[in-house]
Amino acid sequence: MMNWKSLVSALILALTLTACNPQIVREYVKPECSPPERPVLPEIDAQTLYDAVGQDMYDDLLTSNRLRDGYAREMRAMIGVLCSAPSR
- Look up the pTM and report it: 0.53
- The total of structural domains in the chain comes to 1
Asked, for residue 59, whether it belongs to a domain, the answer is: yes
pLDDT digits (tens, 9 = 90+) for 34-76: 777 888 989 999 999 999 999 999 999 999 999 999 998 898 8
| Residue 66 lies in domain | 45-88
Asked, for residue 63, whether it belongs to a domain, the answer is: yes
CB 79 within 8 A of CB 32: no
Asked, for residue 20, whether it belongs to a domain, the answer is: no
CA separation, residue 87 to residues 23, 30, 62 (Å):
21, 6, 41
Of the pLDDT bands very low, low, confident and very high (cuts 50, 70, 90), residue 87 is low
Closest CA to 69 of 44, 41, 50, 48: 41
CA separation, residue 88 to residues 31, 81, 82 (Å):
13, 15, 13
Residue 45 vs residue 28, higher pLDDT: 45
Asked, for residue 72, whether it belongs to a domain, the answer is: yes
> What is the average pLDDT across 23-27?
77
Q: Per-residue pLDDT for 2 more than 80?
A: no
Asked, for residue 40, whether it belongs to a domain, the answer is: no
